[in-house]
Structure 1
Amino acid sequence: MTQHRKRDKNLGLAELVAIALGGMVGGGIFTILGISVSMIGNLTPIAIIIGGLIASLAAYSYVKLGLYYKDEGATYSFFKRTYPKSHFSAAAIGWFIIFGYISTLALYAYTFSSYAISSTEFANDIQIRKMIAIGVIGIFTLINVLSVKGMGKIEDLMVYTKLVILTIIAVVLIQHGSTSFEGFIGDMAMDAKNSSTLSILIVASITFVAYEGFQLVINAVSEMTNPDKNIPRAIYSAIGLAVLIYVVISMGALFAIPSEDIIKNKEFALAAGAGDVLGKMGTDLVILGAILATSSAISGTVFGSSRQMSVVAKDGYLPKWLAIRKKNIPINSIVGMGVMAAILILIGGLELILEFGSITFLLVSLLMAIANYKLRDKTNSSKVLTTFSILGLAIGGVLILYYEFTAKWEQMLAIVVLYAVLALGAWIYSKKNERAKKIT
């Protein structure tokens, strides 16, 4: 086991659940809503629940490996320590997971800006949207640099406030929507006839990115109280709450907003729909909820992923300057995450960012399940559950790839090129690392 030097333990269960929920209930739900409704209509809540089950399968191995290794490097460190002789694989996992976090950071910031200007004359101005997205990343980069405890308290406030607001919005939309419960069930039955099981499972796999964030709890292992109890409690509680919130939000949208409007205004559909039903107050309330949701997601993702980036850099698989810390805060990694997310916002489209994130987190979650299967006796894991996790995550990954190749092959090509560039970077650093170790 890794021996950690004594540190201040600033993060309790409430903060850890907030970090996980902050990472999950962010841009994902607002972005996947339009994509899901366009593919399967009123079956969207079913796909969201299945996506939550896939996330729970992934979480099982993360919890077991997290309790066994207690390493803030999380995904990267788990794989490296399970397969210690595989330098390129460790480097590739490090690069993939870090850039997966960068993509979700960009997604959350992009969604923040979409909602922030949704009721203004600049709503469709892409350049202003990108500038605001970069600005909000800068703000939360600064907050994370200044204080861990301050970040935790701000995260608590934003996360639990947004949960209340989003729940109120969804319930009010359900009550005031033009669709009755019977009508909703009837439309769901019709959509079930028109949609294949395959399309539902594809949407469930795409929604996986909306559950990305629970892993961030493990990145905080050096700064949390009682990790043996708080890691599983925080992760499973956060996933359960996220499923509930997503289902209620999606039902609220489907009850009150015509499907064609959800699809058309997918980047800020909830705000547009709430305005039609509840007037300006409804729009403002949704915008506030979305801004809080994406803000907490940005803050939590910067916090967790920067610690993982610092560990990868310390091991020599990223530039060494990214490993530098001050008062245990990985300042250079925090700034590095912010800068790279800003670059991705400037060059990437929303759906490309979303689906790169989904594929990446399904892939690394599958690798974690395989690693946990290898160590199942040491991690005290169920062979049946771990095998089921591997199968479920593998099927989810195949379904996303199938969808990309058949529906958006140009986008898939861009993702493949991005993976090739990341693999090349990982290969270069793994070779440098091997040469350095031979010299010493």
Structure 2
Amino acid sequence: MSEISQLATPQIHRKRNKDLGVLELVAIALGGMVGGGIFTILGVSVSMIGVYTPIAISLGGLLAALAAYSYIKLGVYYKDEGATYSFYKKTFPNSAFAASLVGWWVVFGYISTLALYAYTFASYAISSFEFANNEWVRKAVAGLVILVFTLINIWSVKGMGKIEDLMVYTKLLILAIISFVLINNSQTSLPVLVSQEQDISVLSIVIVASITFVAYEGFQLVINAVNEMDEPDKSIPKAIYLALFLAMLIYIVLSIGAILAIPFADIIQNKEYALAAGTGNVLGHWGTDLVILGALLATSSAISGTVFGASRQMAVIAQDGYFPSVLAKRNLRTPVNAIITMASLAFLLVLAGSLEVILEFGSVTFLLVSLLMAYANFCMRKLTKSSAWITALALIGLLMATFFILFYELNNQPEQMLFILIIYVLLTMGSWFYSRHRQSSRVENLDESKPDKLA
């Protein structure tokens, strides 16, 4: 038996009452994916590639499916709610600093998206009021919604699951209605738009697909719930693949409806509120209200799902000594301290502003971490019973997507690249400190456990 196979053995869990079925798990994944992404990516995509936006969204979804393949294989093998961090730690047990770094990247990537979802929720929630442009009111509402879902997650896993079901599936219904109405009120056709479109390079479409990949972030949250699900071997792949399919379908149909019914100029001018502003022009006040309701449900479920999954990952990392130990404490199975800490840090990010920069950090982080997961699965492919060529294809695709999004940022937003670099330096320093502290503590414990030679 190889060294990896000896050290990287899957966890065996005791039989216990499980609260989350496939529907709840799909809701958690969709809650993390169909958040603020579709309400902001549309404007960016149309401004860059116009009518080819649905193609880029499709490519982003296919890339997400390739990334999900490794998450699923590792998730079924290890059955560890630490997910990304635990998979890397167990696959490469002698790389303490690398495991710590991955853990810090993943958790703070989630914190940045949690802040974005809350900010987007607040922006839509107050958009119809006179104080819609009051930044402090917006931040106060963002803090309030974070607080609400923090309390829900602390209150009850089952309660969270049922509320997540209600929000997500209601959100899907509303987005389906919006898509149908937009398509039914088309002002043009796809052939006409294609004929009017200026030459768009394949490179531009691939770059947008790399940016769009961020809209699929959240499917891995399913694995964080492994201790609360029945039959992980079946539930994990079913929930993730079904959620990815539904998210891709929603994005494609909604983007087609938007580009057929809303003039490109309106979409580009109102990037953050493209659907609300455009639907209002086509359908009137009730159309705007419907889009706002869909946005509120989308961001709410994204906040809930992210708090649920990421807090459990933070608790696992803290238990291993790479975060403060107080974050590992649980009330029954709920990591209360980790939930409160994540919510507090997200609110601090909201107060600090510059969420667009933070979003770009989360985007790059998700691509890099997915790349690392594909690499880990490639090393473990025999034990996880993975296809070598599918895993290799995922590695190549994720590496290219990471390069393209960094290329875009460097050429178009160099200030954001600098800010992202600073964040990575700080996270690297924090992860290095805790990895060194953990190693020192282990050495001290070993020394204390040795018998007294003089005795």
CA distance in 2, matches of 1:76, 1:383: 22
Q: What residue in structure 2 maps to residue 303 of structure 1?
A: 308
CA distance in 2, matches of 1:118, 1:38: 23
Q: Does 1:372 align with 2:377?
A: yes
What SS is found at the alignment partner of 2:383?
Answer: coil
Q: What residue in structure 2 maps to residue 357 of structure 1?
A: 362
CA distance in 1, matches of 2:336, 2:170: 28
- Measure how far apart 1:107 and its partner are: 1.4
Unaligned stretches of 5+ residues in structure 1: none
CA distance in 1, matches of 2:23, 2:81: 19
Q: What residue in structure 2 maps to residue 63 of structure 1?
A: 72
1:96 aligned to 99, 105, 109, which one? 105
Contact 2:171 2:297 survives alignment (8 Å): yes
Q: Does 1:289 align with 2:294?
A: yes
Larger mean Cα displacement after TM superposition, 108-117 or 295-304: 108-117
CA distance in 1, matches of 2:250, 2:358: 23
* 2:50 aligned partner, one-letter code: G
* 1:86 aligned partner, one-letter code: S
Contact 1:41 1:259 survives alignment (8 Å): yes
Residues 153-177 of structure 1: per-residue CA shift (max 9 Å, x gap): 0000000011000110111011123
Q: What residue in structure 1 maps to residue 283 of structure 2?
A: 278
* 2:428 aligned partner, one-letter code: A
Q: Does 1:38 align with 2:44?
A: no
* 1:205 aligned partner, one-letter code: S
Contact 2:349 2:355 survives alignment (8 Å): no
What SS is found at the alignment partner of 1:201?
Answer: helix
* 2:194 aligned partner, one-letter code: M
Q: How does 1:307-322 map to 2 (within 5 A)?
A: 307-322=312-327
CA pair 400-47 structure 1, distance change in 2 beyond 3 A: same
Q: What residue in structure 2 maps to residue 130 of structure 1?
A: 139
Contact 2:188 2:261 survives alignment (8 Å): no
- Measure how far apart 1:6 and its partner are: 4.3
CA distance in 2, matches of 1:250, 1:288: 18
CA distance in 2, matches of 1:258, 1:125: 28
What is the TM-score when the length of structure 2 is the normalising length?
A: 0.94
Q: What residue in structure 1 maps to residue 191 of structure 2?
A: 185
CA distance in 2, matches of 1:369, 1:352: 26
Contact 1:42 1:188 survives alignment (8 Å): yes
Contact 2:112 2:362 survives alignment (8 Å): yes
Q: How does 1:228-307 map to 2 (within 5 A)?
A: 228-307=233-312
CA distance in 1, matches of 2:12, 2:237: 21
Percent of pairs identical after alignment? 63
Larger mean Cα displacement after TM superposition, 119-128 or 225-234: 119-128
Q: What residue in structure 2 maps to residue 196 of structure 1?
A: 201
- Measure how far apart 1:366 and its partner are: 0.2
Q: Does 1:213 align with 2:214?
A: no
- Measure how far apart 1:189 and its partner are: 4.5
Contact 2:221 2:309 survives alignment (8 Å): yes
2:175 aligned to 157, 166, 173, which one? 166
Q: Does 1:48 align with 2:54?
A: no
Contact 1:31 1:111 survives alignment (8 Å): no
Residues 223-272 of structure 1: per-residue CA shift (max 9 Å, x gap): 00111101000000000100000011112221222222222222222111
CA RMSD in angstroms, aligned pairs only: 1.1
* 2:397 aligned partner, one-letter code: G
1:413 aligned to 408, 414, 418, which one? 418
| Number of equivalenced pairs | 436
CA distance in 2, matches of 1:260, 1:354: 24
Q: Does 1:144 align with 2:153?
A: yes
- Measure how far apart 1:133 and its partner are: 1.3
* 1:255 aligned partner, one-letter code: L
Residues 24-68 of structure 1: per-residue CA shift (max 9 Å, x gap): 001111111111111111111111000001100100000000011
Answer with 1 or 2: which has the greater Rg: 2
Unaligned stretches of 5+ residues in structure 2: 1-9, 446-455
* 1:308 aligned partner, one-letter code: Q
CA distance in 2, matches of 1:323, 1:347: 27
What SS is found at the alignment partner of 2:331?
Answer: coil
